[in-house]
Amino acid sequence: MQILEKLQEKLGNSVQEKVALAQYSTFKLGGPGRYFFIAKTSDDIVRAVTAAKELNLEIFLLAGGSNLLIADDGFDGLVIKAENKNISVETQYVEAHCNASLQRRGGIFIKAEGGASWMDFVNFTKENSLTGAEWGAGIPGTVGGAARGNAGAFGRSVHEIIKSVEVLDSETTAVKTLINAECSFDYRESIFKKNKNLIILNATFQLQRGNRASIEKEMNERIAYRKNSQPCLPSAGCTFKNIIITDEIKKKLIETIETKELEAKIKGGKLGSAFLIDKAGLKGYQIGGVKVSDEHANFIVKVDDTAKADHVIQLISYIKQQVRDKFGIQLQEEVQYVRYGH
Ligand SMILES: Cc1cc2nc3c(=O)[nH]c(=O)nc-3n(C[C@H](O)[C@H](O)[C@H](O)COP(=O)(O)OP(=O)(O)OC[C@H]3O[C@@H](n4cnc5c(N)ncnc54)[C@H](O)[C@@H]3O)c2cc1C
């Protein structure tokens, strides 16, 4: 029996072969997934991971596809598209885990499945007059993707509101709950990034009761800011992480950048990579069908249909080399590569 048939036997006829993955990535780039399964529930994810393990197939968990560069030759294993989307208020969680004082203060817990759209979660908080996630309005992708990458904006990030995360270990197929302190959250980092076997099934968020009108106002402002500052061509968001400023890095930077100019650009201990890329004269620099955005130098955008993931890889490498040569700084990718072996 062919592998496709075996997968269909285990997961149903919806398993497909050679599915173009570009359609599922905001970059609109990348080749096919050898096998492709849409997981509508968390249980579907567990079943798909178990099936892949039995058939010795690599897995790739595809969520909102907004932080990905998928290789031109695609992914030669089972792509599991996470569409487990439930979002609910967790009253039992409050009763079981929270002291009377927190309950009185109105701490509310929301459980969102990994495949739920991050914006559905943000809107859910607004609809329920809950404050704490306003800064996240406008970030694309899913709850699982956001928790894995500790997504953030405006000096805030997801780890500030996560209480716990339920994960499936794809190696052992065990499901366990990690509390926030066990997730090793850091700037765009987490245990889920370091341990690729961990699949986030759901996350429980802690929010506070707030004023709906002011929550909505702040969300609208965040969304408007994004519309004005980010390109609308296809991209994967920020290509590189921002630079954490240490004494040593600052010393290096002031060899080439005037201290005042530099200090004005450092916010919350970080320097935007966009500043260095722009200063290196790379805005608008194009390789093949992709270029450094004219609006935001940390975005690489797809310009036309000649674009390939390989062009992005070449452009990333060129930007890193230029920034290293000019400022002595080694940029680190925020975008995640998808290729066989993942
Ligand atoms: C226009 C634009 C603006 C953006 N702005 C921001 C921003 O302000 N701040 C920010 O932090 N990011 C930003 N991003 C990047 C992106 O939106 C986030 O990184 C997002 O959280 C990725 O989620 P996703 O569901 O799209 O993940 P995907 O891109 O589908 O996947 C990313 C990685 O996470 C893994 N993953 C996804 N779900 C799970 C899960 N349930 N369990 C385990 N692993 C999982 C995938 O396997 C993959 O390795 C932006 C992107 C775009 C295109």
In this structure, the residue with its CA closest to atom 12 of ligand 1 is: 151
Measure 248 CA to ligand 1 centroid, in angstroms: 31
Q: Which of 220, 88, 242 is nearest to 157 (CA)?
A: 242
Instruction: Verify that 203 and 150 share a domain, yes or no.
Output: yes
Looking at the 3D structure of the chain, how many domains does it have? 3
- Of the pLDDT bands very low, low, confident and very high (cuts 50, 70, 90), residue 332 is very high
- Domain limits at 34? 3-82
Measure 146 CA to ligand 1 centroid, in angstroms: 6
In this structure, the residue with its CA closest to atom 18 of ligand 1 is: 67
User: DSSP for 269-308?
Assistant: TEE-HHHHHHHTT-TT-EETTEEE-SS-TTBEEE-STT--
Instruction: Verify that 153 and 248 share a domain, yes or no.
Output: no
Strands 68-70 and 108-113: unpaired
Measure 213 CA to ligand 1 centroid, in angstroms: 28
Instruction: Verify that 175 and 199 share a domain, yes or no.
Output: yes
Q: Which residues contact 185 (CB under 8 A, 6 or more apart)?
A: 150, 157, 158, 159, 162
Phi-psi region of 17 (alpha: psi -120 to 50; beta: other; left: phi over 0): beta
SS3 79: strand
Which of 172, 195, 227 is a domain's end point?
Answer: 227
Instruction: Verify that 182 and 239 share a domain, yes or no.
Output: no
Measure 247 CA to ligand 1 centroid, in angstroms: 31
Q: How many residues does the chain have?
A: 342
Instruction: Verify that 187 and 307 share a domain, yes or no.
Output: no
Q: What is the pLDDT of residues 243-301, one digit of tens each?
A: 999 999 999 999 999 999 999 999 999 999 999 999 999 999 999 999 999 999 999 99
Mutate-to-test residue for ligand 1 from 148, 235, 295, highest number of ligand atoms within 8 A of CB:
148
Which of 48, 65, 82 is a domain's end point?
Answer: 82
Instruction: Verify that 92 and 212 share a domain, yes or no.
Output: yes
Instruction: Determine the Cα–Cα distance for residues 194 and 217; give it in Å rounded to an integer.
Output: 36
Instruction: Verify that 112 and 216 share a domain, yes or no.
Output: yes
Q: What is the pLDDT of residues 34-57, one digit of tens each?
A: 999 999 999 999 999 999 999 999
Which of 178, 212, 227 is a domain's end point?
Answer: 227
Q: For CA atoms 68, 72, 77, 82, give the dihedral sign.
A: positive
In this structure, the residue with its CA closest to atom 19 of ligand 1 is: 67
Query: What are the C-alpha distances in Å from 330 to residues 78, 85, 166, 241?
Result: 34, 38, 34, 11
Q: What is the pLDDT of residues 171-224, one digit of tens each?
A: 999 999 999 999 999 999 999 999 999 999 999 999 999 999 999 999 999 999
Instruction: Let me know: does 296 contact 235? Beta carbons within 8 Å.
Output: no
Q: Kindly report the CATH number assigned to the domain that includes residue 239.
A: 3.90.78.10
In this structure, the residue with its CA closest to atom 2 of ligand 1 is: 237
Mutate-to-test residue for ligand 1 from 24, 46, 66, highest number of ligand atoms within 8 A of CB:
66
Instruction: Let me know: does 330 contact 243? Beta carbons within 8 Å.
Output: no
Active-site residues, by number, are: 188, 238, 334
Q: Which of 27, 136, 67, 64 is nearest to 334 (CA)?
A: 67
SS3 101: helix
E-assigned strands of the chain? 16-20, 32-39, 59-62, 68-70, 75-82, 87-89, 108-113, 130-131, 152-153, 156-157, 162-169, 175-179, 198-209, 243-244, 266-267, 270-271, 286-287, 290-292, 300-302, 336-338
Q: Kindly report the CATH number assigned to the domain that includes residue 223.
A: 3.30.465.10
In this predicted structure, what is the pLDDT of residue 107?
A: 76
SS3 241: coil
Taking the CA of residue 140 as reference, the ligand 1 atom at the shortest distance is 17
| Ligand 1 site, CB within 6 A | 26, 61-68, 82, 114, 139-142, 144-146, 148-149, 151-153, 192, 199-200, 230, 235-237, 336
Buried/exposed 160-177: b ≥16 CB within 10 Å, e otherwise: ebbbbbbbbebeeeeeee
Taking the CA of residue 24 as reference, the ligand 1 atom at the shortest distance is 30
Instruction: Verify that 57 and 111 share a domain, yes or no.
Output: no
Q: Kindly report the CATH number assigned to the domain that includes residue 13.
A: 3.30.43.10
Q: Which of 268, 284, 270 is nearest to 331 (CA)?
A: 270
Q: What is the pLDDT of residues 133-173, one digit of tens each?
A: 999 999 999 999 999 999 999 999 999 999 999 999 999 99
Partners of 200 in the β-ladder: 167
Taking the CA of residue 115 as reference, the ligand 1 atom at the shortest distance is 41
